[in-house]
Amino acid sequence: MGVVWHRLTTSISYKFLCIFGNVRTTKKLSVQLDDKFIERLLVWACQFDEVVWMDSNDCKREYSSYKAILAVDAFTSIKTDHYDAFDRLNEYQSLTKDWLFGYLSYDLKNDLEPLSSENIDELDFPALYFFQPKRLFLFSEDSVEIRYVPMVADEVDLDWNAIQNMEIKAETSDQPPIRISLRTSKDRYFEKVSEMLSHIHRGDIYEANFCQEFYAREVKLDPVKTYQSLNT
């Protein structure tokens, strides 16, 4: 889905980047990454504004390095619109020389080609966002490597104990039904498909990628429970 992006001021939070660079305190511990532990881990992670959880779901590849990765709590970050986004990301990566987590949005196409986006955007996410985590957990088959930046290095044991002792609340069924709406009506959708087919028949284009948005407003979700449901 394309959206309209207003020109934003690029925000790069450097903090003490030049002092710490990619130096991290590392501690390795034994752990079994079962479903109960993952739930405790993710509930603990919810206290932070920035959370990235990457789970291989036990899918082993030739070049896999980790079973799962958790990155939380931004030490530095970059967020920007599409304008010069890749150059700014490259600069940020060169400065941090460290682990970075984030996303690239579809609208970065506007920085590569003379294109624009004119669809409704009610999310207002930056076109590009990456952060350098203070706290990083690298899970292997039966162990975890914990890597913290120096400013929180003395909190490794405290955090690990908090994760191990995290209380999991019993599931409740009080989630109200979610009403999902479609951005394009069924009739208008078929009209647009017909228009695209006309272009294909004329030879203007040979293929098209046509999407529409489904959305819901004023919905409160438990992010951990929602993730677990989607990942089951």
User: Is 194 within a domain?
Assistant: yes
Q: Among 123, 112, 114, 111, which residue's Cα sits nearest to residue 3? A: 123
One domain, residues 94 and 129: yes
Predicted local confidence at residue 6, as pLDDT: 30
Cβ neighbors of 78 (< 8 A, separation 6 or more) are: 10, 11, 12, 13, 88, 89, 92, 102, 128, 129, 130, 131
One domain, residues 141 and 28: yes
Number of Cβ within a 10 Å radius of residue 187: 8
User: Is 232 within a domain?
Assistant: no
User: Is 104 within a domain?
Assistant: yes
User: Is 225 within a domain?
Assistant: no
Predicted local confidence at residue 8, as pLDDT: 37
Task: Kindly report, residue by residue over 104-151, the tens digit of the pLDDT.
Answer: 998 899 888 888 888 888 888 999 999 999 999 999 989 999 999 999
Cβ neighbors of 155 (< 8 A, separation 6 or more) are: 148
Domain coverage including residue 210: 181-215
Predicted local confidence at residue 175, as pLDDT: 75
Contact 110, 82 (CB under 8 A): yes
**For residue 162, what is the DSSP state?**
H
Whole-Å CA distances, 52 to 11, 130, 132 = 20, 11, 11
What is the block-wise mean pLDDT of the chain (232 residues), using blocks of 10 residues? Answer: 32 49 85 93 96 91 89 96 91 94 92 84 90 97 95 96 90 80 94 95 91 90 88 88
Predicted local confidence at residue 11, as pLDDT: 55
pTM (global) more than 0.85: no
Of 117, 146, 172, the domain-final residue? 172
One domain, residues 154 and 200: no
One domain, residues 66 and 130: yes
Residue carrying the six token digits 């913290």: 148
